[in-house]
A and B are shown apart, each in its own frame.
Chain A
Amino acid sequence: MKNRRIYSLLFVGMLICTGLFIQTKNGINPSDIIQDTITLALGVLYEALPFVFLGITLSVIVQLYIRENRLLGTLPNNPFLRKLVLSISGSLLPVCECGNVPLARGLISKGIRSSDVLTFLLAAPIINPVTILTTSQAFAGNPHVTWLRVIGALFIANYIGWSFGRYRDKDMLTDEFAAYCAHTHSQEKTRASHSAVKQVKVFASCFRNETESLFPALVGGSLLAGIIQTTVPRSVLTTVSTEPALAIFALIVLAFIVSICANVDAFFALSLSGIFPLSAILAFLVFGPMIDLKMLALLRTTFKVRTLVRLTLIVFLLSYSFAMVVHYAI
């Protein structure tokens, strides 16, 4: 395990050095590359951090003050309805996809199945008033972009929930997080008797624990997003814009790399709408909020690698297929 991490770091380091070397050979000042990488990485981090803090706060509230049976009691027993309710519950929670990860951790620790929480995680960034409003504002000339985005998100999120429903939680969650959930559950009964001061200390302690668990992933994801954006020329993607199949793939890759918040990605996608077909733009808008570098890094704190690989592949295939259907059928 330790060797695999070292080799992974060496591989990433080699990629960075190769990218820097090629850019320098092309006459580009390496200090510009480094400065822009830092600016972009810190931009992603500073934009995501407050939402992550908000998500952690909600997660700790869920963990400390909402009893498991009450939380599970608010959800329908019918699995179809339960996933549907979780799909639209993002409308009530004012966090972007980064903040949804700590909240999802809180929900899992309270007994909601991991597969159901994945439905919430994938749907919530898109099916919320802010994202719907900004999408409709950006694509006022193409109103079907908004409702196609919502439909695509609903379909993919619920399919993922059903698809992963056959796996047990312990097969999907990391050992560390599974142990954390077990510990949280055992502490629930004693918490009610704490004094106000003690509760504040416990709240602060849980907040710190979640922050320290998520912070390395957030920084790593932000840094990787910054590095790739400065070392990979955008023209690599725009050269395939004329062929729909390749254009859809290119924008899915761009969405994965850029890691933009779902609340404003519609305006970024709008700037590409003159070059790429609308189906590719739709793929960007559907795939991006679900899976990107930053999200995968955050999800790694909770889910096993094979779960994330499976999740990424299925979401990619579904987003790609959805976009292709839209391109040729609508």
Chain B
Amino acid sequence: MRYKIIAGASAASCLGVCATILFLSMSRNLTYYIHPRYIVFTVTSVACATALLAISWLFENEKRTTHTASALMCLIVTLCAILFPPQALTNRTAQNRLQDVRTINSTEITSFDSFSKDYGHFDIADWSNLLNSGPQIEEVAGKSATVEGFILKDASLLYVARFRLACCAVDATPLTIPISSTTSTLLEGRWYRIDGRFVDEENSLRLLPSTIIPIEEPNEPYIY
């Protein structure tokens, strides 16, 4: 009887993990954790694994070694996924990783994310890469920009930021644009759509907002 309970719990909890992943993909929330290019592969492999695990449990005829630890781990994962619904990484992680991208070398950045010269279609990623490549201030000052992101505060500076994902949440890196210090109406952690132009402030480029519109966090808060 004890064996049947443990085996049943193991079956239910492992299926719980697989079901969680499949549900996240159907509700388009799996991209909070992994890059979209892995979605098809993830769903396919999890579906096949679910089928194999189900076959094994349904047609099991003899007793086998029970893996209580595995059942417990599966249960923990399923509970975590239920109790902590999908959510983008918070400001705290962005602040922790802010200095990872402060001084990206310009020679590397052109291979990482080449940007066109059409400034009118630049998004936050393009502007962030451009600013981090150390351009001439007079080249960029006066240029208009429209960006959407959350507000990040570091020391006395405010940034509009957005996470970029290369593989999964663990490598998420904040792409940032510094905002003019004359701006005081922005709340840390809130999402905004900001229209403005770049100005030279203390020998560095900052975005001077002309229009600030609070927005809801997008369904896809990350840039891929």
Which B residues are closer than 8 A to A by beta carbons? 10, 14, 21, 24, 30, 32-35, 38, 41-42, 44-46, 48-49, 52-53, 55-57, 59-60, 64-65, 67, 69-70, 72-74, 76-77, 80-81, 84, 86-93, 96-97, 99-105, 107-108, 110-112, 132, 166-171, 173
> Closest Cβ of chain B: how far from A249's Cβ, in Å?
18
The listed residue (B33, B35, B110, B171) touching A258 by CB distance below 8 A is: B171
Take A36-B89, A271-B101 as given contacts and tell me if A216 and B77 are in contact as well, using a CB distance cutoff of 8 Å.
no
CB–CB B49/A211 < 8 A: yes
Q: Whole-angstrom distance between the alpha carbons of A141 and B112 in the complex?
A: 10
Q: Whole-angstrom distance between the alpha carbons of A215 and B68 in the complex?
A: 11
CB–CB A141/B53 < 8 A: no
Which A residues are closer than 8 A to B by beta carbons? 28-29, 32-36, 38-47, 49-50, 53-54, 57, 137-142, 200-201, 203-205, 207-209, 211-213, 215-216, 219-220, 225-226, 229-230, 233-235, 238, 258-261, 263-265, 267-268, 270-275
Residues of chain A lying within 8 A (CB to CB) of residue B44: 50
CB–CB A46/B90 < 8 A: no
CB–CB B33/A216 < 8 A: no
Query: 10 nearest interchain CB pairs?
Result: A43-B169, A140-B111, A274-B103, A50-B45, A212-B67, A264-B167, A47-B168, A141-B107, A208-B56, A204-B55
The listed residue (A216, A258, A275) touching B73 by CB distance below 8 A is: A216
Q: Whole-angstrom distance between the alpha carbons of A201 and B102 in the complex?
A: 55
The listed residue (B91, B101, B168) touching A32 by CB distance below 8 A is: B91
Smallest Cβ-Cβ distance to B167: which chain A residue? A264
CB–CB A204/B56 < 8 A: yes
The listed residue (B52, B64, B73, B112) touching A215 by CB distance below 8 A is: B73
CB–CB B92/A29 < 8 A: yes
> Closest Cβ of chain A: how far from B27's Cβ, in Å?
14
The listed residue (B10, B33, B99, B171) touching A46 by CB distance below 8 A is: B33
Residues of chain B lying within 8 A (CB to CB) of residue A226: 170
Q: Whole-angstrom distance between the alpha carbons of A52 and B87 in the complex?
A: 25
Interface of A is mostly: helix
CB–CB A50/B92 < 8 A: no
Residues of chain B lying within 8 A (CB to CB) of residue A43: 33-34, 168-170
Q: Whole-angstrom distance between the alpha carbons of A270 and B111 in the complex?
A: 10
CB–CB B105/A264 < 8 A: no
CB–CB B166/A264 < 8 A: yes
Residues of chain B lying within 8 A (CB to CB) of residue A204: 52-53, 55-56, 59
Q: Whole-angstrom distance between the alpha carbons of A235 and B95 in the complex?
A: 10
Take A53-B46, A267-B166, A275-B103 as given contacts and tell me if A220 and B84 are in contact as well, using a CB distance cutoff of 8 Å.
no
> Closest Cβ of chain B: how far from A93's Cβ, in Å?
15
